[in-house]
């Protein structure tokens, strides 16, 4: 039991350390969070983005129900991110930019519904 | 009262050491004078401290109370080169310190000048002692005529201070401080040919005074920054094994391997990207030409916060025009970060007849050292 605790602790510390140190393009990586019209009605989001040198590509909710991103743009003066996918439009500001666990917070439109969203980089 | 002048330490200490970088930690626009009695001397890497009980002055709610200040006096290896030893200041000494206070309200400061009232205290200069044994001469060579990047046969030595402490494109005139901060942020476009996102990231790091620097958390300084790290480096040429080891005296005393056995450049797709990448080298007359790929994105490529991606490729050229000079030229090719390949160069000074001293970045991590 004690050995297991030590091993888990080491693994956790290692993960924490590595997570803190991810650099590179600010959008590259896996982001997790949710969106919804109210605090009581939320829908989970996983978003994976990658920078190939010319464009940011990616998917929402990777797996059988994945939705490909059609366009991602950033205003680097204000750190405002615009994300488009089929039936989805989101716009938000990047926060805590220097952290590997940076966030994007803003508004999300899907179908006829609108709400807010918050994504945190893993 | 004798005076110990260590003003140059602010610049020396600003080159990244452990924990928060100096610009983010101390408010260089303020000064405090601290008069008190030494209670502890922590002679540890990478930052030595003198702890002083200081009686608060009048006019404040805490007037008359005693506070214990942690005064950072610099890196022990730098201090030793300036004639300071671990017994120069002792517990019980009455001292007066001019210092730069921390940005927060903690009782912490960075020394700029130091006086002690103890009789017969030595007076120190702010610059390192000149090496008494420095010699001149041509680059040393192996019996077959190949230039040696290490010491001459039977001698000691290593590569010490670089001529520049940060990197920008060759030919551009950019005013940069020793810690990597631009004197004028509008010069950013002249540092490197940034893609828009990379310029935004670089400026964000500059505006936040480099507070998120991975090297400040003792992570390895990969890429060209390895040759800007304090405390030097040395080459160990293992010619029979077809490789050159580069041993770093700063940071975490890491090493890098440059293979010269003729293997092709490349890294298996499943290999883990690393801080020092995968390097192969070849000699072109008297110049060692090294190509590297396979870098991770977890380090800043230089003091000051130049970004990069895993697409980074480096072409480095090492030459030794004479015994005391290493010329380093690097071409940065990362099309995901920069609009075109670009080049930078600097020289490094030989430290003769000495070994790299022990230095561990992690030794006095703030969480365990500063109260």
Residues of B within 8 A of A18 (CB-CB) are 298
Chain B interface mutation, best of A27, A76, A101, highest count of B Cβ atoms under 10 Å: A76
Tokens of residue B220, six digits: 């390895």
The CATH superfamily assigned to A25-121 is Cathepsin C, exclusion domain (2.40.128.80)
Comparing C-alpha atoms, which of B282, B334, B326 is closest to residue B308? B334
Strand B94-101 to A80-85 pairing: unpaired
- Please state, in angstroms and rounded to a whole number, the distance separating the CA atoms of residues B250 and B261: 28
Chain A interface mutation, best of B201, B216, B274, highest count of A Cβ atoms under 10 Å: B201
Q: Which domains does chain B have, with CATH numbers?
A: 2-123 (2.40.50.140), 157-352 (no CATH)
**Residue in B200, B219, B311 closest to A21 by CB:** B219
- Please state, in angstroms and rounded to a whole number, the distance separating the CA atoms of residues B87 and B66: 24
* pLDDT at A12 exceeding the cut of 50: no
pLDDT tens series, chain B, 371 aa: 444 444 434 333 333 344 667 788 898 889 999 999 999 998 887 788 999 999 987 666 667 799 999 999 988 878 887 788 888 888 999 998 999 999 888 999 999 888 887 654 543 444 444 444 456 899 999 999 999 999 999 999 999 989 998 999 999 989 998 889 999 999 999 999 999 999 999 999 999 999 999 988 888 999 999 998 878 999 999 999 999 999 998 777 889 999 999 999 987 777 889 999 999 999 999 999 999 999 999 999 999 999 999 999 999 999 999 999 999 999 999 999 999 999 999 999 999 998 887 777 776 555 445 54
* C-alpha distance from B215 to closest chain A C-alpha (Å): 10
Q: The tokens 């995901």 sit on which residue?
A: B336
B208 in A contact zone (CB under 8 Å): yes
Do A26 and B214 make contact, defined as CB atoms within 8 angstroms?
A: no
pLDDT at B362: 72
B272, B277, B280, B284 alpha-carbon torsion, rounded to 10°: 160
CB within 8 Å of B77: residues ≥ 6 apart: B45, B230, B231, B357, B359
| H and E: helices and strands count for chain A | 1, 8
Across the range A33-42, mean pLDDT stands at 94
- Please state, in angstroms and rounded to a whole number, the distance separating the CA atoms of residues B344 and B367: 37
Largest CA distance in chain B: 75
pLDDT at B313: 97
Q: What ipTM was assigned to the predicted interfaces of this complex?
A: 0.83
Contact indicator for A112, A93 with CB cutoff of 8 Å: no
* pLDDT at A94 exceeding the cut of 80: yes
> Average pLDDT of chain A?
86
Chain A interface mutation, best of B198, B205, B212, highest count of A Cβ atoms under 10 Å: B212
B212 in A contact zone (CB under 8 Å): yes
CB within 8 Å of B262: residues ≥ 6 apart: B242, B282
Contact indicator for A32, A49 with CB cutoff of 8 Å: no
Report the sign of the C-alpha dihedral through residues B49, B50, B56, B61, in that order: positive
Sketch the domain layout of chain A as residue ranges: 25-121
Strand A113-121 to A103-110 pairing: antiparallel
**Residue in B197, B212, B217 closest to A76 by CB:** B197
Do B309 and A51 make contact, defined as CB atoms within 8 angstroms?
A: yes
Comparing C-alpha atoms, which of A52, A54, A56, A36 is closest to residue A44? A36
- Please state, in angstroms and rounded to a whole number, the distance separating the CA atoms of residues B136 and B162: 18
Across the range A19-24, mean pLDDT stands at 62
Query: What are φ and ψ of residue B285, in 5° steps?
Result: 55, -115
**Residue in B200, B217, B297 closest to A22 by CB:** B297
pLDDT at A13: 38
pLDDT at B364: 57
Provide the number of CB pairs (under 8 Å) joining chain A to chain B: 51
DSSP B104: S
Strand B66-74 to B108-116 pairing: parallel
B333 in A contact zone (CB under 8 Å): no
Contact indicator for B243, B260 with CB cutoff of 8 Å: yes
Please, which residues bridge with residue B194 across strands? B338
- Please state, in angstroms and rounded to a whole number, the distance separating the CA atoms of residues B76 and B250: 12
* pLDDT at A67 exceeding the cut of 90: yes
């Amino acid at each position: 039991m004690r050995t297991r605790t030590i091993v888990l602790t080491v693994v956790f510390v290692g993960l924490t350390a590595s997570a803190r140190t991810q650099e590179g393009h600010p959008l590259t990586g896996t982001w997790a969070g949710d969106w919804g019209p109210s605090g009581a009605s939320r829908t989970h989001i996983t978003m994976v983005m990658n920078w190939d040198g010319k464009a940011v590509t990616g998917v929402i909710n990777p797996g059988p129900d994945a939705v490909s991103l059609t366009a991602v743009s950033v205003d680097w003066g204000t750190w405002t991110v615009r994300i488009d996918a089929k039936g989805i439009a989101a716009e938000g500001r990047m926060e805590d930019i220097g952290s590997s666990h940076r966030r994007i917070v803003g508004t999300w439109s899907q179908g006829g519904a609108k709400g807010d969203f918050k994504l945190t980089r893993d | 009262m004798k005076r110990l002048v260590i003003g140059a330490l602010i610049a020396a200490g600003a080159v990244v050491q452990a924990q928060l970088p100096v610009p983010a930690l101390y408010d260089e626009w303020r000064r405090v004078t601290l008069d008190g009695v030494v209670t502890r001397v922590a002679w540890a890497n990478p930052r030595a401290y003198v702890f002083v009980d200081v009686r608060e002055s009048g006019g404040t709610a805490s007037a008359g109370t005693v506070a214990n200040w942690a005064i950072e006096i610099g890196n022990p290896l730098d201090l030793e080169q300036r004639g300071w030893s671990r017994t120069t200041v002792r517990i019980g000494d009455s001292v007066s310190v001019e210092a730069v206070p921390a940005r927060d309200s903690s009782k912490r400061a960075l020394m700029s000048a130091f006086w002690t009232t103890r009789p017969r205290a030595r007076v120190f200069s702010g610059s390192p002692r000149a090496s008494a044994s420095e010699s001149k001469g041509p680059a040393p060579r192996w019996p077959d005529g190949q230039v040696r990047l290490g010491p001459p046969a039977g001698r000691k030595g290593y590569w010490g201070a670089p001529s520049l402490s940060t990197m920008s494109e060759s030919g551009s005139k950019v005013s940069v401080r020793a810690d990597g901060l631009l004197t004028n942020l509008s010069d950013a476009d002249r540092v490197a040919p940034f893609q828009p996102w990379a310029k935004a990231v670089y400026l964000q790091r500059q505006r936040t005074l480099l507070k998120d620097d991975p090297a400040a958390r003792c992570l390895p300084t990969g890429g060209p920054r390895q040759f800007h790290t304090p405390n030097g480096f040395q080459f160990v040429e293992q010619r029979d094994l077809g490789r050159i080891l580069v041993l770093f005296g700063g940071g975490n005393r890491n090493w890098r391997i440059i293979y010269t056995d003729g293997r092709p450049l490349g890294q298996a797709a499943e290999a883990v990207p690393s801080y020092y990448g995968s390097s192969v080298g070849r000699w072109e007359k008297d110049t060692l030409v090294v190509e590297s790929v396979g870098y991770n994105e977890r380090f800043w490529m230089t003091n000051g916060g130049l970004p990069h991606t895993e697409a980074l490729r480096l072409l480095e050229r090492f030459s030794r025009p004479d015994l005391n000079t290493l010329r380093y030229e690097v071409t940065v090719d990362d099309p995901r970060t920069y609009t075109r390949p670009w080049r930078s160069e600097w020289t490094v000074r030989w430290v003769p007849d000495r070994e790299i001293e022990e230095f561990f970045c992690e030794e006095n991590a703030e969480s365990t050292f500063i109260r």
